[in-house]
Structure 1
Amino acid sequence: MAGRKRLSGWLRRGADSASSSYAAPRPARASRTSRGSRPRPSVHDPRRDDLVRAAAQAGFRLVPAAHPDGFGCSCERIGCPIPGLHPVSLAWQTQASTEPQRVEDWLRAHPLANFVTATGIDHDVLDVPAEAGRLALERLIVDGATLGPVAALGEDRLLFFTATRGTPADEDEWWPCVLDSHPETADEHPGIRWHCRGSYVLLPPARLPSGHSVEWLDGHGPDLPLPDPLPVLAVLTDACAQFGYEPEAPLAWGR
């Protein structure tokens, strides 16, 4: 209740949906390395195919993404700023799918690829610093709250999957908020990020440039039902505030 009260006065800021521009992946090759360093090899994770299928079966529309290649990215973009963290195709929003045959085709065609799920269609994701996310998770469990899938993005952040605010035919019903995060605006939200329309997140077991990976938390896999985002957001907001992650501007709860 305290979290909701704090949030209820927040102001509205609209955010435009936009997609980032990335090139298609290049064929596997020997990676360039810095002097005296050794490249990290690109290795197929044997769990990947089953985990990706499980996410698609749970209704998470997904699409192939680039993967770390040595100390760089599998895409052809020189100096890619987010290696292994972006979709392969510029048309990822329209291509994202749960259709089994399409998923199988992608798995065969991209044996080393990470996968991302497009948010704001069937689900949203509340993305928070790991320390605040763990505290919020403990509180939600104690309170007996409905928890959906939760994934760890390496050691730095937790991803809370929730029901979406939707994509209504009438744009006047759309509910923008200052925490909306798109791929190119993530750095603007060091605390809570709300991935909705026009955004995506990596799916387990995506590999990160740091050498870590994206993993479902035990007991919080994609088969769980998606909770209402507002009660989860209230707890996450309180937890983030305890660690000094205060939002720079207020959030609109709706119209």
Structure 2
Amino acid sequence: MSAEFGGRTGLRGRISQWLRGSGPQEAAGDGGREELLLAAAGAGLPLAPAAHPAAGYRCSCDRVGCPTPARHPVSFAWQTQSTTDRAQVERWARHEPQANFITATGMTHDVLDVPVEAGREALERLLNSGVEVGPVAESDDGRMYFFTLTRGTPEDEDEWWPCELDCHPETMDEHPGLRWHCRGSYVLVPPSRLPGDDGQSVHWVRGPEHPLPEPLTLLESLTDACAKYAGQDQSSSPWPLRH
């Protein structure tokens, strides 16, 4: 998957330019949004449209007092709607130019979601150690997303094993440290805009051209960094996993 993606003529270079905030953004006319979404879909991340910021801190959805403004899918059927089909992603991107997008986890990939301070420290440690790190996104509301292979096999429920670190959209506040987004969960995928007047967003730190790693190769560094920033000792970490 990653080899095919990386082999597309000029695509890797264009992504690098977008991540630096220069290059084709102006030419694309939409800040490079459509191409970035197609790059994510091309890397195997299933996408679905999400709400977007309205005036101030409001959400584009009709829900009064939306608890997660601009951070949730538009459709209740987002799990079955999520797709990597290029034509469908193009239609969504062009017909809904303001929409954010989510990627559904637990299908082809999971996301390890940590506080940004812990994530930055762990990322530096992992890269300095020569560990293969996949795509990484940062949200300006203080979280960092590490994209990994999924640990389960959704087609075979016997091989899909639960874990104390599982995080679903409705349980986000219960996991202030490390959140493991797997089956039934989602995260915003870059480029997404967050509510407010200060231009906050979700953006790539390492783009989707990087192959997805096994989650357990990152987990120890991430839990150690989370424990440090939470003022916890290692014995209070949520590791080991519960079978």
The TM tier, using the shorter chain, reads 0.7 to 0.9
* Matching of residue 114 in structure 1 with residue 100 in structure 2: yes
Shift of 1:128: 0.2
- The size of the alignment, in residue pairs, is 210
Residue of structure 1 equivalent to 2:10: none
Q: In structure 2, do the counterparts of structure 1 residues 233 and 245 end up closer, same or farther at CA, with 3 Å as the change threshold?
A: farther
Counterpart contact for 2:191–2:202, Cα < 8 Å = yes
Instruction: Indicate the SS of the match to 1:194.
Output: strand
Separation of aligned partners in 2, 1:159 and 1:112 = 22
Residue of structure 2 equivalent to 1:61: 46
Residue of structure 1 equivalent to 2:24: none
How big is each residue's C-alpha offset from its partner over 1:9-38, in whole Å with a ceiling of 9 and x where there is no partner?
xxxxxxxxxxxxxxxxxxxxxxxxxxxxxx
Q: In structure 2, do the counterparts of structure 1 residues 221 and 245 end up closer, same or farther at CA, with 3 Å as the change threshold?
A: farther
Shift of 1:171: 2.3
Instruction: Indicate the SS of the match to 2:192.
Output: coil
How big is each residue's C-alpha offset from its partner over 1:33-72, in whole Å with a ceiling of 9 and x where there is no partner?
xxxxxxxxxxx95221111111011110000000000121
Residue of structure 1 equivalent to 2:152: 166
Residue of structure 1 equivalent to 2:4: none
Q: In structure 2, do the counterparts of structure 1 residues 249 and 232 end up closer, same or farther at CA, with 3 Å as the change threshold?
A: closer
* Matching of residue 102 in structure 1 with residue 102 in structure 2: no
Q: In structure 2, do the counterparts of structure 1 residues 47 and 236 end up closer, same or farther at CA, with 3 Å as the change threshold?
A: same
Identity among equivalent pairs (%): 60
Separation of aligned partners in 2, 1:130 and 1:170 = 34
Shift of 1:169: 3.7
Counterpart contact for 1:62–1:98, Cα < 8 Å = yes
- Structure with the bigger RCO (C-alpha within 8 Å, sep 6+) is 1
User: Where in structure 2 are the equivalents of 1:1-255 lying within 5 Å?
Assistant: 45-71=30-56, 72-210=58-196, 211-217=199-205, 220-244=206-230, 246=232, 250-251=238-239, 253=241, 255=243
Q: In structure 2, do the counterparts of structure 1 residues 119 and 97 end up closer, same or farther at CA, with 3 Å as the change threshold?
A: same
Counterpart contact for 1:126–1:160, Cα < 8 Å = yes
Separation of aligned partners in 2, 1:250 and 1:136 = 17
Shift of 1:105: 1.2
What is the letter of the counterpart of residue 214 of structure 1? V
Structure with larger Rg: 1
Q: In structure 2, do the counterparts of structure 1 residues 239 and 249 end up closer, same or farther at CA, with 3 Å as the change threshold?
A: closer
Instruction: Indicate the SS of the match to 1:228.
Output: coil
TM-score (norm 1): 0.78
Counterpart contact for 2:227–2:237, Cα < 8 Å = no
| Structure 2: 5+ residue stretches without partners | 1-28
Shift of 1:155: 4.7
What is the letter of the counterpart of residue 69 of structure 1? A
Instruction: Indicate the SS of the match to 1:176.
Output: coil
Separation of aligned partners in 1, 2:241 and 2:60 = 40
Separation of aligned partners in 1, 2:164 and 2:30 = 36
Q: Higher helix fraction: Structure 1 or Structure 2?
A: 2
